[in-house]
């Protein structure tokens, strides 16, 4: 099945063509692969969604000089551009508005929801511990947030709605990347991570509209999002009946990273 996806957010217009099959979907490539290109970078990030661009910015801020983001779709947006709000504990927004949202209490709530068994407590703790600072970091990038309720009389308020929603979030992250000289290559899906003799990462091979691109790099971050559009993965991981569910994920989320 061939599907044309047209996205018309207020601040951007992009267009993608995808072919859906049993195993997932692929972005349509119209030309024969003939051209071979080579680039070098200190860091390659696969996937230009929220996680990928945030990682790129954090790396640049910490002294990484040359960063290339490989993005499969026509715009660095991902599912993040469709999202709305971000969890935060002890954030600057909460502090300014007098909302008491202690990390320790919220950690216990999260763990109790998972019966203290089904999730990785260290990961949950790290996520909660970093969440407030992440909101502050995003504010400094030019974003604004307001606290919203998830359900009536929710206490404490932890959902930080991004003004302009995910689309604005991605727009601001892209602009910050541009300002710091981070290269975002769209319509460039990564195909393979290259390794040296000792198993160390040496780069990434990606497809381009004209052929193939090899980026030599010492470090690679995989930020390709979920697998909501990969039916085989859903079948294996979530079990059979769930593949009948419709996903709202970005069509490029196929666990191809
Ligand atoms: C409709 C919707 C609403 C949501 N609302 C919320 C919300 O309000 N709050 C919340 O916390 N969460 C929400 N979520 C979930 C949240 O959006 C995701 O968990 C989050 O955006 C994931 O970020 P990410 O950067 O990991 O993935 P993404 O933003 O999906 O980015 C992954 C990127 O990787 C690219 N990619 C994939 N494979 C390759 C490859 N091989 N080579 C190169 N690039 C590749 C994709 O094209 C994509 O751009 C929502 C999700 C959806 C779909």
Q: Is the N-terminal amide bond of 156 cis, ω within 30° of 0? A: yes
Q: State whether 192 and 224 are in the same domain.
A: yes
- pLDDT tens digit sequence for 37-80: 999 999 999 999 999 999 999 999 999 999 999 999 999 999 99
Mean pLDDT of the chain: 87
Quickly state the pLDDT bin for 34 (edges 50, 70, 90): confident
Give domain status of residue 180, yes or no.
yes
Query: Of all atoms in ligand 1, which is nearest to the CA of residue 54?
Result: 25
Query: Of all atoms in ligand 1, which is nearest to the CA of residue 252?
Result: 47
Overall average pLDDT of the 98-127 stretch: 96
Share of the chain above pLDDT 70, in %: 79
CA nearest ligand 1 atom 16, residue:
80
- pLDDT tens digit sequence for 76-104: 999 999 999 999 999 999 999 999 999 99
Q: State whether 62 and 186 are in the same domain.
A: yes
> Any idea what the CATH number is for the domain that residue 189 is in?
3.50.50.60
Rounded to whole angstroms, the Cα distance separating 253 from 256 reads: 8
Q: Where are the alpha helices (DSSP H) in 141-245?
A: 165-179, 231-237
Give domain status of residue 68, yes or no.
yes
The confidence score (pLDDT) of residue 228 equals 75
The confidence score (pLDDT) of residue 91 equals 98
How would you label 58-67 residue by residue, b for 16+ Cβ within 10 Å and e otherwise?
A: ebbeeebeeb
Rounded to whole angstroms, the Cα distance separating 90 from 225 reads: 26
- pLDDT tens digit sequence for 131-175: 999 999 999 999 999 999 999 999 999 999 999 999 999 999 999
Q: State whether 153 and 181 are in the same domain.
A: no
Quickly state the pLDDT bin for 9 (edges 50, 70, 90): very low
Give domain status of residue 254, yes or no.
no
Query: CA geometry: angle at 239 spanning 49 and 248, to 5°?
Result: 35
More confident residue, 234 or 217: 217
Give domain status of residue 23, yes or no.
no
The confidence score (pLDDT) of residue 86 equals 96
The count of structural domains within the chain is 2
Residue 55: CB within 6 Å of ligand 1?
no
Range of the structural domain that residue 40 is part of: 31-79+171-244
Rounded to whole angstroms, the Cα distance separating 65 from 181 reads: 9
Q: What is the pTM of this model?
A: 0.85
Give domain status of residue 18, yes or no.
no
Among candidate residues 157, 180, 211, the one where a domain is terminated = 157
Among candidate residues 157, 179, 201, the one where a domain is terminated = 157
Phi, psi of 119 (to 5 degrees): -130, 160
CA nearest ligand 1 atom 3, residue:
83
Give domain status of residue 84, yes or no.
no
Question: Does residue 251 carry a pLDDT above 90?
Answer: no
Query: Of all atoms in ligand 1, which is nearest to the CA of residue 77?
Result: 49
Q: State whether 177 and 239 are in the same domain.
A: yes
Give domain status of residue 8, yes or no.
no
Overall average pLDDT of the 190-214 stretch: 97
Residue 139: CB within 6 Å of ligand 1?
no
Query: Of all atoms in ligand 1, which is nearest to the CA of residue 70?
Result: 43
Overall average pLDDT of the 166-190 stretch: 98
Give domain status of residue 2, yes or no.
no
CA nearest ligand 1 atom 48, residue:
78
Q: State whether 74 and 98 are in the same domain.
A: no
Q: State whether 150 and 186 are in the same domain.
A: no
Question: Does residue 6 carry a pLDDT above 80?
Answer: no
> To the nearest 10°, the Cα dihedral for 205, 210, 211, 217?
-20
Overall average pLDDT of the 204-233 stretch: 92
Residue 73: CB within 6 Å of ligand 1?
yes
Q: State whether 98 and 136 are in the same domain.
A: yes
Residue 82: CB within 6 Å of ligand 1?
yes
Q: State whether 75 and 112 are in the same domain.
A: no
Q: State whether 175 and 240 are in the same domain.
A: yes
- Average the pLDDT over each of 125-139, 204-218, 226-240 and give the range with the smallest value: 226-240
The confidence score (pLDDT) of residue 28 equals 47
């Amino acid at each position: 099945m061939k599907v044309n996806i047209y996205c018309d957010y207020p601040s951007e217009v992009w267009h993608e063509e995808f072919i859906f099959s049993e195993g997932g979907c692929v972005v349509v490539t119209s030309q024969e692969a003939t051209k071979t290109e080579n680039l070098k970078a200190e860091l390659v990030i696969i996937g230009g969604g929220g996680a990928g661009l945030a990682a790129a910015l954090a790396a640049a801020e910490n002294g990484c000089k040359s960063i290339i983001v490989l993005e499969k779709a026509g715009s660095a947006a991902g599912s993040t551009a469709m999202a709305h709000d971000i969890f935060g504990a002890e954030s600057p927004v909460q502090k300014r508005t007098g909302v008491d949202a202690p990390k320790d209490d919220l950690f216990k709530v999260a763990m109790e929801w998972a019966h203290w068994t089904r999730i990785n407590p260290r990961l949950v703790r790290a996520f909660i511990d970093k969440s407030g600072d992440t909101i502050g970091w995003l504010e400094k990038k030019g974003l604004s947030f307001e606290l919203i309720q998830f359900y009536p009389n929710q206490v404490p308020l932890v959902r930080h709605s991004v003004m302009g929603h995910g689309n604005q979030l991605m727009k601001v992250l892209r602009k910050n990347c541009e300002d710091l000289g981070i290269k975002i290559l769209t319509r460039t899906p990564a195909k393979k991570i290259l390794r040296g003799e000792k198993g160390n990462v040496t780069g990434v091979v990606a497809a381009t509209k004209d052929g193939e691109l090899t980026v030599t790099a010492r470090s690679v971050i995989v930020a390709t999002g979920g697998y909501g559009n990969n039916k085989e993965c859903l079948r294996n991981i979530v079990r059979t009946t769930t593949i009948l569910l419709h996903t709202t994920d970005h069509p490029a989320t196929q666990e191809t990273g």
